[in-house]
Amino acid sequence: MKKFLAMMLALAMVASLAACSSSSSSSDTTAAETEAATEAAETEGTDETEAADSTTGDGELITVGFAQVGHESDWRTASTQSCQDVFCEANGYELVFVDCDQDSAAQLDAVRNFIEQDVDYVIIDPIVSTGWDTVLTECEEAGIPVIVIDRTIDDSDNYTAWVGSDFTAEGYAAGEWLNAYAEAKGIEISGILVIEGTTGSSAQLGRTEGFQEIADNYGWTILDSQDGDFTEAGGQEVMESYCQSYSGQFNVVICQNDNEAFGAMTAMDAAGITYGVDGDVILISFDACTAGLEYVQAGSINADFECNPLAAPFVAEIIESLEAGEEVESTVYMTEHWYVAEEDVLTSITVNGEEQELTYVTDEIVEAQY
């Protein structure tokens, strides 16, 4: 009965998806979700009843409501796919997925809809880090555990666990790499321009804070730091403005994700500004998605600081422990790598006194990336 009810409510949810995201992205996502579930079921060679037994033992699927940030970047696509691959019927789950299209109000509505549907678990990747306390209390009162992934919630700790990355550490690593690289290459850093991620997201806050601290330590000048919203269009728009306003004043560009870097490269190409290993501007990025690593391998991006989007398997472990009545870790950090374009310049950096390895990008690494 619960499964039938969940299915009917899920269908109602799909109908309301347009409220949360543009119809094309929600229908694409639904199609992808269906495709992923079908592929997984075919791969597993397991029918739904057998698969359901594998998770709950009573033939019931575990319903998981996932309020995703949006579809703004390659990183986001990989994050969504990871959840769809793991939380599928073949593995004993029913995923109610909502693409919130970078709209914080819509994301809160999505979580409240999950409560109405009485899902078993809620997963949230919070678009911004504040405004969460009330709805998390509502989930608690409804007896629905919440697992936060990727970005953090900073105004409440009323959730079961968080799985993600240390964004400030990513910013520190980018700053220390830049210092060591400039020294090794004999480059005087004249001026730095930053294209930030979505304002108020913990990824933007952490990367900005970490890099700023290192810049202050070395006395670097950050000429400007504007929001590119983690999108290619945003990165291009901000970089076009920078090329106008700061021509000849900068030799470092920091993009807080790969898609912004793609846009920044388009803008610098149009302005006749060279970048990368053989260019006048050092280009640094974050995420290290496959396309980003291809640009690193080509020497267009000098260094790319990975942010791992594949949190879903770790979330599934948490849910399975909770189903078994076991204690769970409240914080799970993902493993990340710092990728570089040149094998013979630096092999490691020192961050807060700790030596951190650098990874030279090879065909095998690009092939295996997300």
Q: Give residues 184-213 in contact with ligand GZL (rule: CB under 6 A).
A: 197, 203
Decide whether 225 or 249 has the Cβ nearer to ligand GZL.
Answer: 225
Q: What single letter denotes the amino acid at residue 327?
A: E
Q: Give residues 283-302 in contact with ligand GZL (rule: CB under 6 A).
A: 286-287
The span of 67-75, 110-118, 214-222, 353-361 binding ligand GZL (CB under 6 A) equals 67-75
Alpha carbon distance 220, 189 (integer Å): 7
Among 33, 72, 94, 196, binds ligand GZL (CB under 6 A): 72
Long-range contacts of 273-276 (CB under 8 A, 24+ apart): 273/243, 275/300, 276/300, 276/301, 276/302, 276/341
Residue of 268, 266, 262, 260 lying closest to 295 (CA atoms)? 262
Decide whether 120 or 150 has the Cβ nearer to ligand GZL.
Answer: 150
Question: How many CA atoms lie less than 13 Å away from 21 in the CB half-sphere?
Answer: 24
The span of 71-79, 90-98, 184-192, 346-354 binding ligand GZL (CB under 6 A) equals 71-79
Q: How far is CA 296 from the centre of its chain?
A: 19
Among 230, 275, 338, 339, binds ligand GZL (CB under 6 A): 230
Decide whether 165 or 251 has the Cβ nearer to ligand GZL.
Answer: 165
Among 257, 300, 302, 369, binds ligand GZL (CB under 6 A): 257
By the 8 A CB rule, do 286 and 175 touch? Answer: no
Q: How far is the CB of 176 from ligand GZL (least distance, A)?
A: 19
Alpha carbon distance 117, 7 (integer Å): 10
Regarding 150 and contact with ligand GZL (CB under 6 A), the answer is: yes
By the 8 A CB rule, do 151 and 203 touch? Answer: yes
Q: What is the contact surface with ligand GZL in residues (CB under 6 A)?
A: 72-73, 75-76, 150-151, 165, 197, 203, 230, 257, 286-287, 307
